[in-house]
């Protein structure tokens, strides 16, 4: 089992910076807990007892390694060889479980007796509830009231798994408000509780912790592509909301200069209208404890994001992506709701795979621009069952 | 010495317990906000003015809802700064704001505007001492006192680092959690105050969870003063500025007589 939990050199300083991004902008009450988490994580990642157990869990609980899939009929439409990293085939149907299993193992090691999490579409909430159930820990999931309504199926799944789902009415009643509420809970219960954040966002050490736990995606994929084709891909593409599946896939390729790295943000209704493209159309700011690219007004108030896919409906982005964009190592493009539906449909028709709407953004980009590359590796971050109602409704509209 | 510090230390030297009420910018509404400020400041030693923000993660439901209400009626964080300049209040004003509005317009620009609006101090609850150096400098350059927060979970080393930056007073967070009224003050309040005392001579003011005269008296057995926030904001919204003035007069009197 290939679980490299090593930091990519040069990207992360001792203070949790990704270039000018990252850091720790949180109430003083949380600083002690973040220091403790950082210490415990640095010890754990270097401890074979921890990494061996994590490797075992990734195999028997998550079902890793996930396959690399040669999308031959989809490739005909692109005029390039498209390879899909099938995170949709991981337990619970998305890459989120890689992170929650790792963090729950860490929480158990830290003797925490309670898990909290936030969720947007519910995929991370389901993955957190699953990991908490496996470790026998009580779990509270904060979810925007709007999302509770939109994603009812996942609410039921979380409750079946024993989690308590708390609807958050504040603000826009979506993911960003759920993160605020989870942070409020953590400020209050910091001594007993571990907060499993769902993406490469938040205060240090979370962006680095989550990226390391997700880097198994790219480690596997890089080896699998080399085995299958005998060469590295020309381009690696993944969708970016907070950006955990993308960082997880990208990290293995940072040092491969020949590989172009492309992140796809949600252009929503268009970049001049409502969208979720923090890098393409945002400015530097501080959100949820990190300095990164955010959608905001002239007075620093955070703007509501929009995307047809709940997982990309977020007004910020992980600081590692902000750094990748600024440094030029990766480029970021944005794909609209409408284009994402085209990507979804193309994969369903050619390969018989119902992708989630999030990676459908990456598929749409490849459909439109893939011809420039010979081999393209795409992160298929999750399956689309949760999106069927949305897609059916959009089809009628 | 900063103007706010001198003002507070003089009052403390006279044996007075410090009362720092909190009002939310633009509450109860834009038009009545100056009146609410004047009322809250009448018995105060300093007045904390919250700037409405979209993501107030240190605030409980009362203050978070008040902020949303202010923004819904057109008062954003920078509007609140300017509104606050419209009233002549009888106590030094302290701006309480999350960091992103400051980051967005620039630390120096923000401090310029706050000073121009008559503010004497700054509280930023989501910036730890490690990240605040340039902002503290900008605040100092504009005669804004820096009021850092110390938490029950702060280690002795952190407490020392934090209180060393204080130029107005130290804001001792009484309990783990967000702003809001509580039935009893945490025993931790006294411990946090004691930890601050070990490291500084600056005034130590307890905030979060202080909602009535009895709690204010209890807190000031160890602390130099109290911040009263959610209870006051709730009162301003439900019963108006006169009720707020009367409530604070009661707290003032209890503080002066020791209960």
Q: Do residues A240 and A263 touch, judged by C-beta distance below 8 A? A: yes
Find the range with the poorest average confidence among A55-64, A87-96, A177-186, A224-233. Answer: A177-186
Long-range contacts of A37-46 (CB under 8 A, 24+ apart): A37/A106, A37/A110, A37/A194, A37/A205, A37/A209, A38/A204, A38/A205, A40/A106, A40/A109, A40/A110, A41/A106, A41/A205, A41/A209, A44/A106, A44/A109, A45/A5, A45/A6, A45/A212
Question: B177: which chain A residues are within 8 Å (Cβ-Cβ)?
Answer: 29, 184, 187-188
Chain B interface mutation, best of A286, A292, A297, A316, highest count of B Cβ atoms under 10 Å: A286
> What is residue B215's predicted lDDT score, i.e. its pLDDT?
92
Question: Across all residues in chain B, what is the average pLDDT?
Answer: 94
Question: B150: which chain A residues are within 8 Å (Cβ-Cβ)?
Answer: 28
Indicate yes or no: CB of A180 within 8 angstroms of CB of B57.
yes
Q: Do residues A105 and A135 touch, judged by C-beta distance below 8 A? A: yes
Which of B76, B104, B149 lies nearest to residue A285, judging by beta carbons?
A: B104
> What is residue A9's predicted lDDT score, i.e. its pLDDT?
53
∠ CA A107-A108-A111 to the nearest 5 degrees? 90
Indicate yes or no: CB of B60 within 8 angstroms of CB of A170.
no
Cα–Cα distance between B136 and B131 in angstroms, integer? 10
Distance from CA of A287 to the nearest CA of B (A): 7
Segment 297-336 of chain A within 8 Å of chain B by CB = 297-302
Distance from CA of B105 to the nearest CA of A (A): 7
What end-to-end distance do the CA atoms of chain A give, in Å? 46
Distance from CA of B175 to the nearest CA of A (A): 8
Indicate yes or no: CB of B57 within 8 angstroms of CB of A183.
yes
Distance from CA of A71 to the nearest CA of B (A): 43
The 3-state secondary structure of A130-145, one letter per residue: HHHHHHCCCEEEEEEH
Scanning every residue of chain A, which has its alpha carbon at the shortest distance from the alpha carbon of B71? Answer: A301
pLDDT (average), residues A174-184 = 92
Read off the pLDDT band of A8 (50, 70, 90): low
Chain A contact for B149 (CB, 8 A cutoff)? yes
Question: A24: which chain B residues are within 8 Å (Cβ-Cβ)?
Answer: 128, 130-131
> What is residue A191's predicted lDDT score, i.e. its pLDDT?
87
Cα–Cα distance between A75 and A87 in angstroms, integer? 19
Indicate yes or no: CB of B100 within 8 angstroms of CB of A296.
yes
> What is residue A396's predicted lDDT score, i.e. its pLDDT?
63
Cα–Cα distance between A11 and A18 in angstroms, integer? 6
Q: Do residues A215 and A5 touch, judged by C-beta distance below 8 A? A: yes
Is the predicted pLDDT of residue B2 greater than 70, yes or no? Answer: no
> What is residue A1's predicted lDDT score, i.e. its pLDDT?
34
Indicate yes or no: CB of A32 within 8 angstroms of CB of B77.
no
Read off the pLDDT band of A5 (50, 70, 90): very low
Kind plus residue range of the DSSP H or E element containing A335 = strand A330-336
Read off the pLDDT band of A4 (50, 70, 90): very low
Q: Do residues A160 and A132 touch, judged by C-beta distance below 8 A? A: no
> What is residue A372's predicted lDDT score, i.e. its pLDDT?
84
Cα–Cα distance between B107 and B102 in angstroms, integer? 5
Chain A interface mutation, best of B126, B182, B209, highest count of A Cβ atoms under 10 Å: B126
Is the predicted pLDDT of residue A2 greater than 60, yes or no? Answer: no
Is the omega angle on the peptide bond into residue B154 within 30 degrees of 0, that is, cis?
no
pLDDT over 70 for what percent of chain A?
Answer: 96
Q: Do residues A125 and A158 touch, judged by C-beta distance below 8 A? A: yes
A76 is catalytic: no
Indicate yes or no: CB of B149 within 8 angstroms of CB of A285.
no
| pLDDT tens per residue across span A61-108 | 999 999 999 999 999 999 999 999 999 999 999 999 999 999 999 999
| pLDDT tens per residue across span B36-45 | 999 999 999 9
Find the range with the poorest average confidence among B48-62, B160-174, B175-189. Answer: B175-189
Cα–Cα distance between A340 and B205 in angstroms, integer? 54
Q: Is B13 exposed, middle or buried (0-12, 13-18, 19+ CB in 10 A)?
A: exposed
Q: Which tokens is B42 given?
A: 């009448």
pLDDT (average), residues A252-272 = 97
Indicate yes or no: CB of A187 within 8 angstroms of CB of B154.
no
| pLDDT tens per residue across span B174-232 | 887 777 777 667 778 899 999 999 999 999 999 988 999 999 999 999 999 999 999 99
| pLDDT tens per residue across span B19-38 | 999 999 999 999 999 999 99
Segment 144-203 of chain A within 8 Å of chain B by CB = 170-171, 176-177, 180, 183-184, 187-191
> What is residue A26's predicted lDDT score, i.e. its pLDDT?
94
A381 is catalytic: yes
- Per-position b or e across B91-119, b if 16+ CB within 10 A of its CB: bbbbbbbbbbbbbbbebbebbbbbbebeb
What domains can be seen in chain A, in order of their start residue?
17-60+97-211 (3.40.50.1100), 63-93+215-396 (3.40.50.1100)
pLDDT (average), residues A144-159 = 91
Indicate yes or no: CB of A297 within 8 angstroms of CB of B128.
no
Q: Which tokens is A306 given?
A: 């929009």
Global pTM value: 0.95
The residue ranges of DSSP E strands in chain B, in sequence order, are 18-24, 47-50, 93-96, 119-123, 145-146, 149-150, 170-173, 204-207, 225-228
Distance from CA of A231 to the nearest CA of B (A): 44
Q: Which tokens is B124 given?
A: 């930023």
Cα–Cα distance between A187 and B152 in angstroms, integer? 11
Q: Do residues A343 and A361 touch, judged by C-beta distance below 8 A? A: yes
pLDDT (average), residues A373-389 = 94
Read off the pLDDT band of A3 (50, 70, 90): very low
The residues of B carrying an active-site annotation are: 48, 59
Indicate yes or no: CB of B125 within 8 angstroms of CB of A27.
yes
Q: Do residues B164 and B200 touch, judged by C-beta distance below 8 A? A: yes
> What residues are paired with B95 via a beta bridge?
B49, B122
The residue ranges of DSSP E strands in A243-289, in sequence order, are 260-268, 283-287
> What is residue B183's predicted lDDT score, i.e. its pLDDT?
65
**Which one, of A214, A181, A212, lies nearest residue A94 by Cα?**
A214
Count of A-B CB contacts under 8 Å = 125
What domains can be seen in chain B, in order of their start residue?
3-147+216-257 (3.20.20.70)
> What is residue A121's predicted lDDT score, i.e. its pLDDT?
85
């Amino acid at each position: 089992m290939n679980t490299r939990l090593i930091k990519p050199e040069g990207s992360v300083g001792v203070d949790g910076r990704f270039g000018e991004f990252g850091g720790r902008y949180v109430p003083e009450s949380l600083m002690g807990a973040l220091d403790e988490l950082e210490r415990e994580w640095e010890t754990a990642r270097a401890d074979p007892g921890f990494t061996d157990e994590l490797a075992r869990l990734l195999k028997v609980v998550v079902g890793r390694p996930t396959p690399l899939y040669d999308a031959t009929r989809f490739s005909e439409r692109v005029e390039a060889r498209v390879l899909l990293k099938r995170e949709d085939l991981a337990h619970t149907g998305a890459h989120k479980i890689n992170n929650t299993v790792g963090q729950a193992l860490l929480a158990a090691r830290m003797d925490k007796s309670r898990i909290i999490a936030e969720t947007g579409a519910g995929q991370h909430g389901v993955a957190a509830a699953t990991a908490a159930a496996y470790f026998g820990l009580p779990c509270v999931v904060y979810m925007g009231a709007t999302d509770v309504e939109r994603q009812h199926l996942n609410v039921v799944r979380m409750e079946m798994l024993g989690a308590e789902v708390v609807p958050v009415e504040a603000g826009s009643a979506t993911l960003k408000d759920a993160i605020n509420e989870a942070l409020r809970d953590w400020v209050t219960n910091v001594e007993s509780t571990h907060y499993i954040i769902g993406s490469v966002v938040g205060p240090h050490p979370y962006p680095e912790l989550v990226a390391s736990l997700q880097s198994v995606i790219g480690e596997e994929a890089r080896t699998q592509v080399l085995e299958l084709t005998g060469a590295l891909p020309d381009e690696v593409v993944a969708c970016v909301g907070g950006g955990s599946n993308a960082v997880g896939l990208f990290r293995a390729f940072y040092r491969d200069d020949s590989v172009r790295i492309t992140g796809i943000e949600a252009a929503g209704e268009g970049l001049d209208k409502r969208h979720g493209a923090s890098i393409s159309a945002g400015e530097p700011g501080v959100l949820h404890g990190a300095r990164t690219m955010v959608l905001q007004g002239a007075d620093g108030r955070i703007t509501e994001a929009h995307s047809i896919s709940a997982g990309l409906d977020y007004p910020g982005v992980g600081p590692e992506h902000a750094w990748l964009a600024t440094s030029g190592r990766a480029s970021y493009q944005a794909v609209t709701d409408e284009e994402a539906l085209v990507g979804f449909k193309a994969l369903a028709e050619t390969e018989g795979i119902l992708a989630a709407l999030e990676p459908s953004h990456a598929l749409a980009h490849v459909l439109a621009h893939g011809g420039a590359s010979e081999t393209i590796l795409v992160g298929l971050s999750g399956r689309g069952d949760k999106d069927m109602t949305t897609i059916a409704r959009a089809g009628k509209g | 010495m900063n103007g706010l510090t001198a003002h507070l230390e003089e009052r403390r030297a006279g044996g007075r317990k410090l009362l720092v009420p909190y009002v939310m910018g633009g509450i109860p509404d834009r038009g009545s906000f100056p009146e609410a400020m004047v009322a809250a400041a009448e018995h105060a030693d300093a007045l904390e003015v919250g700037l409405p923000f979209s993501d107030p993660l240190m605030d409980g439901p009362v203050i978070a809802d008040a902020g949303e209400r202010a923004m819904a009626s057109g008062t954003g964080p920078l509007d609140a700064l300017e509104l606050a300049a419209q009233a002549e209040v009888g106590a030094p004003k302290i701006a309480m704001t999350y960091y992103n509005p400051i980051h967005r317009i620039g630390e120096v620009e923000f401090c310029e505007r706050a000073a121009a609006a008559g503010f004497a101090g700054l509280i930023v609850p989501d910036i730890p001492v490690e990240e605040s150096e340039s902002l503290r400098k900008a605040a100092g350059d504009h005669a804004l006192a820096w009021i850092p927060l110390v938490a029950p979970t702060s280690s002795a080393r952190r407490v020392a680092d934090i209180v060393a930056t204080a130029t107005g007073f130290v804001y001792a967070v009484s309990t783990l959690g967000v702003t809001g009224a509580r039935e009893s003050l945490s025993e931790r309040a006294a411990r946090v105050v004691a930890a601050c005392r070990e490291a500084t001579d600056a005034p130590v003011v307890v905030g979060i969870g202080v909602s009535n005269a009895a709690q204010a008296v209890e807190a000031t057995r160890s602390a130099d003063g109290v911040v009263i926030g959610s209870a006051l904001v709730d009162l301003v919204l439900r019963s108006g500025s006169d009720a707020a003035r009367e409530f604070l007069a009661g707290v003032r009197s209890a503080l002066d007589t020791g209960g």
